[in-house]
Structure 1
Amino acid sequence: MGLGVAAALGLSACTSSPDTSTAAAGPTPAAGDSAGQATAPASFTVQPAVGTKDFAPGEPVRVTVASGEIQSIALTNADGKQVAGELSADKHTWSATEPLGYGKTYTWTGSATGTDGKPVPLSGSFSTVTPKRQVSGSLNVGDGQTYGIAMPIALTFTSKVTDKAAAERALSVETTPKTEGSWAWLSDTEVHWRPKEYFQPNTKVTVTAAIYGVKMGDGTYGRQDVDASFTIGRSQIVKGDTTTHRMQVIRDGQQIADYPVSYGLDSDPGRVTHSGIHVVMSKHATYSMSNPRYGYTDVNVPWAVRISNNGEFIHGLAASVWAQGKKNISHGCLNLSPANAKIYYDSVLPGDPVEITGSTQQLSAKDGDYADWTYSWADWTRMSALNS
């Protein structure tokens, strides 16, 4: 008579990791039957194993049968509600299709029939972990939005992640056309993905952070999954040279504008515009500028496009029109005439690159949330937890 899986596994054995267990029921058959075909009792492999404690619900939940077919499988919680699942076409594997809860007990029931024609029962329970804390994640990109070709994807967590490799394995970016890119950890709470080169225009992007149920270290687990699908728009690149006091706008490979500009005062390191690849972060029809160090507060400027977190914008300023195209007198921003600033403002997407050259100061990682392009590709990939 066949043994139940619960008996074969030993219910007294417990584990804190998502181990699998294998059990066969019934006596070892003779080699061959009347037709000359080998027969065997059904053998279950169960994940999580019967008796498992503190199972992370982000791990796969499945039952696999060798030497036979699944006849019935049910996984129920303490209230008797069944977990949704799917049986493979060959009836060898059943997989849960909905996430398990935290701090719950679940019970396996079911049976399989071996090639020997005998039924083998499945029974037994396991429990899921109760996290010390749960961490959420938020994305900087939104469903259905359109971004520029340099747009980084940023995922920010509500608390420190110590098992960065586990968290990163739960993240994915799918692109059409296929785009080479990598995740990089900029802090214990923030990880970014950027392509090796600028995105191709019209690329379709889906980012998924399947962090629910994922153990992130020190008793912390993901609270819920987050995802977004968006599109990369046309290619638009600003090329600015502080030594020529000009700024060109290149759209889809063609120059569409060449504006006179006043950049940051070259002689003052605190005012000079930084060289390097900036990324458009946001834009504002009017913006209030303050810099008490240099004696001004609440100066409203029109058509302001933020390109870093160190105070650099492209904006209109009628008071500096006399210097635009001739001298650099600003406090780090790119000053345009209000009319030119409006034309540029209307063309901008978040994620557009702004490439500045010619100044004495270089843009660095400390200059803002979108300083991803200040890293070489080799340095960027080394910041992935999966490459360290």
Structure 2
Amino acid sequence: MTARERWTTGRKVFLLGALCLLAAGGGVFAAVAPGAARAAFESEAGPAERTTPGLAAPVVAPVQLAASPADGAQQVNPAAPVSLKVTNGTVERVALTGGDGAAIEGSLNPDGTGWSASGPLQFNSSYTYSFVVSDAAGRKTNSTRTFTTVSTANEADAAVYPLDGMKVGVAQPLQITFSEPVLNKDAVEKAIKVSSTSGQVGEFHWFSDSMVRYRTENFWAANSTVTMDMQLFGVDFGNGQIGNFNKLVTVHIGDKKVAVADATAHTFSVSVNDKPAGSWPATMGDTRFPSAKGYLVFMEKYRVEHMSAASIGLKPGDPAYYGELDVNFATRLTPSGEFIHQATDSAMPYIGVSNLSHGCIGLGPDGAQWVFENMTTGDVVQVVNTDGENANFDDGFGDWNIPWAQYAN
């Protein structure tokens, strides 16, 4: 072996030994250039947010999303909140649009970690929910989701009486008739706030799953104002039916006009604001058709009303059959057919003397006209000393015949 060969062999042995020492943790040498070793070490040990070109990618926690409604959700309540919440990141921008292209406004929270829509959605509509979020390193992620709201078949509406702005008497209950049965009655009642300038507080009474009324323990205060604020949009009525409306109804209460019809005295007397206003002779239901007793609330008026004996089940040959006739100054008390009206010509001799009507309250021309012109919807007549049964609770506004302790249900 020449001298050059011995030198080369020795150098290889030295380098191999150095590598063995490094592998055993006992040395500080590397088999690469010193500068390259330092760069590799620093890229692994440096802080996560370093972004110097050529170094390892930053280590950051992944963004976590909580979006509502869920992607692909169906039958979403239009009143349900539409929101996006991120953890370990921020929301850059959000776009919520309906199927018609209309944009739904929304707002970011102060720290940029959440977004929420500012208004309700529409029924039976599809929505696209697109957003961009970024992680702590500034890397952005785009997402698009879709959902649809409650279908038209599951919308629930309601009719309200009295109508907004209407002026009524002190005995008029508030009535709401729903388009669909209400199973979650408590939820519906909580969404309806009734207030009055008199400070009176009342209760709800459900006459069926589709109709509820509200009244106070005593008649409304004369010349007060009653407001019913119904926030039923999005309220779950039960069985998949969702309320589709909010309504504010203001009702004006007039003077206190109360009549008393006495079947024994054969009189009809009226007071206005607790002061006598008039009294007239009357004829009421006979023994076969006694007038209903209790409180009956005025409903509607007709200058001339057509009546038919067949409507109450009478046929030709029956002693009580009267065929068909028109009566003057008719004020309806019940849907089933009880009125206050001007007595027919054949009944005039019996006014103030005996009862021979089919349940109605018959008055002379002066009394019938006065009632027609001076009393209105929501005024009340109390029928006393009759053999008839109490007016049916659901035949007109028979609410006042239900004891107050039993009214709330």
TM-score interval, normalised by the smaller of the two chains: 0.7 to 0.9
**Which residue does 2:226 correspond to in 1?**
205
Residue 272 of structure 1 pairs with residue 290 of structure 2: yes
User: Mapping of 1:1-388 within 5 angstroms?
Assistant: 1=60, 4=63, 7-9=64-66, 53-59=74-80, 75-78=96-99, 80-84=101-105, 96-107=118-129, 109=131, 126-130=147-151, 132-265=153-286, 267-268=287-288, 271-292=289-310, 293=314, 294-319=320-345, 320-365=347-392, 368-382=395-409
When residues 349 and 300 of structure 1 are mapped into structure 2, their CA distance, relative to the original with a 3 A threshold, is: same
When residues 197 and 111 of structure 1 are mapped into structure 2, their CA distance, relative to the original with a 3 A threshold, is: farther
8 Å Cα contact 1:183-1:381 kept in structure 2? yes
Shift of 1:152: 1.4
- Classify the secondary structure of the residue corresponding to 2:75: coil
Q: 1:135-188, CA deviations, whole angstroms, 9 ceiling, x for partnerless residues?
A: 331122222210001111222223433443444443332322332112222112
Q: 1:5-41, CA deviations, whole angstroms, 9 ceiling, x for partnerless residues?
A: xx333xxxxxxxxxxxxxxxxxxxxxxxxxxxxxxxx
- Classify the secondary structure of the residue corresponding to 1:199: coil
When residues 377 and 104 of structure 1 are mapped into structure 2, their CA distance, relative to the original with a 3 A threshold, is: farther
Cα distance between partner residues in 2 of 1:369 and 1:65:
57
Shift of 1:314: 0.8
Output the TM-score relative to the length of structure 2. Answer: 0.70
When residues 84 and 242 of structure 1 are mapped into structure 2, their CA distance, relative to the original with a 3 A threshold, is: farther
Unaligned 5+ segments in structure 1 are 10-45, 383-388
8 Å Cα contact 1:86-1:97 kept in structure 2? no
Cα distance between partner residues in 2 of 1:249 and 1:71:
72
- Greater CA drift, 118-127 or 334-343: 118-127
Counterpart of 1:201, as a letter, is: A
- Classify the secondary structure of the residue corresponding to 1:260: strand
8 Å Cα contact 1:131-1:220 kept in structure 2? no
Cα distance between partner residues in 2 of 1:87 and 1:316:
69
**RMSD of equivalent CA atoms:** 3.7
When residues 330 and 89 of structure 1 are mapped into structure 2, their CA distance, relative to the original with a 3 A threshold, is: farther
When residues 223 and 202 of structure 1 are mapped into structure 2, their CA distance, relative to the original with a 3 A threshold, is: same
Output the TM-score relative to the length of structure 1. Answer: 0.73
Shift of 1:260: 1.1
Cα distance between partner residues in 1 of 2:201 and 2:340:
30
Unaligned 5+ segments in structure 2 are 1-59, 315-319
Q: Judging by fraction of residues, say which structure has more helix.
A: 2
- Classify the secondary structure of the residue corresponding to 1:261: strand
Cα distance between partner residues in 2 of 1:121 and 1:374:
67
Greater than 6 Å deviation, 4+ residue runs: 62-66, 69-73, 86-93, 118-124
8 Å Cα contact 2:81-2:116 kept in structure 1? no
Q: 1:332-376, CA deviations, whole angstroms, 9 ceiling, x for partnerless residues?
A: 111110122111110112011111111122324356131122211
When residues 262 and 377 of structure 1 are mapped into structure 2, their CA distance, relative to the original with a 3 A threshold, is: same
- Classify the secondary structure of the residue corresponding to 1:344: helix
Q: How many residues align structurally?
A: 338
Counterpart of 1:280, as a letter, is: F
- Greater CA drift, 321-330 or 91-100: 91-100
Cα distance between partner residues in 2 of 1:277 and 1:90:
63
When residues 110 and 358 of structure 1 are mapped into structure 2, their CA distance, relative to the original with a 3 A threshold, is: farther
Shift of 1:305: 0.7
Cα distance between partner residues in 2 of 1:257 and 1:65:
74
8 Å Cα contact 1:143-1:228 kept in structure 2? yes
Counterpart of 2:304, as a letter, is: T
8 Å Cα contact 2:393-2:402 kept in structure 1? no
When residues 74 and 147 of structure 1 are mapped into structure 2, their CA distance, relative to the original with a 3 A threshold, is: farther
When residues 334 and 76 of structure 1 are mapped into structure 2, their CA distance, relative to the original with a 3 A threshold, is: same
Counterpart of 1:288, as a letter, is: H
Shift of 1:257: 0.6
Counterpart of 1:256, as a letter, is: A
Cα distance between partner residues in 2 of 1:259 and 1:86:
69
- Classify the secondary structure of the residue corresponding to 1:340: helix
